Amino acid sequence: MNIKNPTFFIGYDSKEDIAYRICKQSLLKKSSIKINVLALKLYELIAKNYYKRSVDPLASTEFTYSRFFVPSLMNYKGWAVFCDCDFLFLNDVAKLFHDLSNDKAIYCVQHDYKPKEKHKMDGQQQTIYPRKNWSSFIVFNCSHPSNKKLNIDVVNKETGSYLHQFQWLKDDEIGSLDERWNWLEGWTSNHNKSSPYAVHYTRGGPWFDEWQDVEYAEEWIKERDNYINNKYNQIL
């Protein structure tokens, strides 16, 4: 499928600003096609009168629910991608769009993920639920009729399980992506011996002091150092 200038929305959390910046840099560096990259910032969505939910104590990030505004933000037109900020891209994202079908409303990696850890990131409790991590990387067919159900009122009122388990869709409207696009650090390597296209530091990444020894930490740190050096050079 020939998709021109696709838009990528990266979830932004003020506690993980550096993770967002490195995710964006790696995404841009690994893309052979022109892409638009936007930060999905909660305070901006509140200012635009999109986000109206009350504070959810179970929400682990500022973008827990805001990712589901993507079709609306795209005016229900074209294709767009959402990913959590704790990703590092290692392969060309142009490959994402080769085998998509207009019959599907979304595409995602359909994990059967049951983490053993009781906590993740900065001490937050690890929870287990159906289709866990499916919504951490979503390719949206924004013009698909079923995604029009995902309007502003629905995103603000529906439960987390309804949204994260894609309950507005029929199962046959959910396409499957290669697992390498959402490679869960510390888990996928246990059964997949190939190389990831995009690493997801879902337990916690090297930007946290207590997560320095995770898989692919060296790759993330190298990308961070490149970012810092480039930023410094631009200031000079």
Domain-by-domain residue ranges, the chain?
7-235
- Amino acid in position 35: I
- Amino acid in position 203: R
The span from the first CA to the last CA of the chain, in angstroms, equals 42
Q: Rounded to an integer, what distance in angstroms lies between the CA atom of residue 130 and that of residue 189?
A: 21
Q: Rounded to an integer, what distance in angstroms lies between the CA atom of residue 2 and that of residue 15?
A: 36
Confidence at residue 117, expressed as pLDDT on a 0 to 100 scale? 53
Q: Rounded to an integer, what distance in angstroms lies between the CA atom of residue 175 and that of residue 100?
A: 8
Which strands, in side-by-side order, build the sheet including 36-40? Answer: 36-40, 7-11, 79-83, 137-141, 106-108, 174-176
Tens-binned pLDDT, residue by residue, of the chain (236 aa)? 778 889 999 999 999 999 999 999 999 999 999 999 999 999 999 999 999 999 888 788 999 999 999 999 999 999 999 999 999 999 999 999 999 999 999 999 998 876 665 444 554 555 666 788 999 999 999 999 999 999 999 999 999 999 999 999 999 999 999 999 999 999 999 999 999 999 999 999 999 999 999 999 999 999 999 999 987 665 44
Contact residues for 226 (Cβ-Cβ < 8 A; gap 6+): 25
Confidence at residue 185, expressed as pLDDT on a 0 to 100 scale? 96
Q: Rounded to an integer, what distance in angstroms lies between the CA atom of residue 157 and that of residue 52?
A: 9
Closest CA to 160 of 181, 135, 142, 179: 135
CATH class of the domain at 7-235: alpha beta
Whole-model pTM over 0.85: yes
Closest CA to 198 of 2, 59, 31: 31
Tell me if 187 sits within 8 A of 113, measured CB to CB: yes
